[in-house]
């Protein structure tokens, strides 16, 4: 049984999967509200910028992983992607997404799948697009999830990942650390009634591979033309690659 990390704690791989599921069970109903509070609303711009990277083609099939509440999928749907599968390991997050879809009168073109990014119950060479936003750092075996992303994409398909960066420098780093560790858990307690999930989320950013290491991991999974573009003062980055 191998060990991994859950935030700053060392746990078994099996424990991490269960603990991550528990985190999002706890925050699902307040997920979007907390995102607005934690990022001062910036997450909306990050996600809009991310979705705008997609080149829309007629009949394209998209897979949005760790996309439970639909933030990315609904943006893609609005831009004209008509076939989207939303996959998340957490059923509570998917239920929140379904409610949001109903509120937006999105009644067709979106499928919902509760599954692990490391072992997708989906056919190989099927999707034109794979997206994952702020979810890769919660995966227990990142390299395996990247390999699965490559497997399910068609040749010519594109991989897009939006994720926080874990290396900052100078005064921004000091401010970011102070805000992350002193303010965000308190916001979690105030808004969601529990600080522990947000303490984990802050710590998970620090345990995510550096931008350079993650780029190498994407390439190792078989992707080509791999690029990373930083946003918002280098706090987040968009990683992209193609299955050739």
Q: What residue ranges do the domains of the chain occupy?
A: 3-242
Predicted pLDDT at 205? 85
CATH code for the part of the protein at 3-242? 3.40.50.150
Q: Is the dihedral of CA 237, 235, 133, 6 positive or negative?
A: positive
**pLDDT tens-digit readout, 132-171:** 999 999 999 999 999 999 999 999 999 999 998 876 666 6
Which residues, in sequence order, are CB contacts of 94 under 8 Å at separation 6+? 68, 86, 88, 112, 114
129 has a pLDDT exceeding 90: yes
User: Contact 121/89 with Cβ under 8 angstroms?
Assistant: no
Which class for 182: exposed (0-12), middle (13-18), buried (19 or more C-beta within 10 A)? Answer: exposed
Predicted pLDDT at 180? 79
233 has a pLDDT exceeding 60: yes
**pLDDT tens-digit readout, 164-221:** 887 666 666 787 778 778 888 888 888 777 788 788 888 888 889 988 999 999 999 9
**pLDDT tens-digit readout, 1-29:** 577 877 777 878 878 888 777 777 777 77
> Rounded to whole angstroms, what are the CA distances from 228 to 72, 150, 156, 209, 225?
19, 17, 18, 13, 10
Predicted pLDDT at 46? 92
**pLDDT tens-digit readout, 60-113:** 999 999 998 999 999 999 999 999 999 999 999 999 999 999 999 998 999 999
How much is the pTM? 0.89
């Amino acid at each position: 049984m191998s060990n991994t990390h859950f935030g700053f704690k060392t746990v078994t791989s099996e424990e991490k999967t269960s603990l991550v599921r528990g985190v999002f069970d706890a925050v699902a109903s307040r997920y979007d509200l907390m995102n607005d509070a934690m990022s001062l609303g910036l997450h909306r711009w990050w996600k809009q910028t991310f979705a705008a990277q997609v080149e829309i083609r007629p009949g394209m099939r998209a897979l949005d992983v760790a996309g439970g509440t639909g933030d990315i999928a609904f943006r893609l749907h609005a831009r004209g992607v008509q076939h989207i599968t939303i996959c998340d390991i957490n059923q509570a997050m998917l239920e929140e997404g379904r409610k949001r879809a109903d509120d937006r009168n999105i009644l067709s073109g979106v499928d919902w799948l509760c599954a692990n990014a490391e072992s997708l119950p989906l056919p190989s060479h099927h999707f034109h697009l794979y997206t994952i936003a702020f979810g890769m750092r919660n995966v227990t075996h990142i390299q395996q999830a990247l390999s699965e992303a490559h497997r399910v994409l068609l040749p010519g398909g594109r991989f897009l990942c939006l994720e926080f960066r874990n290396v900052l420098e100078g005064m921004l780093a000091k401010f970011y650390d102070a805000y992350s560790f002193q303010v965000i858990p308190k916001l979690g307690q105030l808004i969601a009634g529990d600080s522990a999930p947000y303490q984990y989320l802050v710590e998970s950013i620090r345990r995510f591979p550096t931008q350079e290491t993650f780029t190498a991991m994407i390439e190792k999974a078989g992707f080509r033309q791999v690029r990373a573009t930083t946003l918002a003062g280098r706090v987040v980055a968009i990683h992209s690659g193609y299955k050739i």
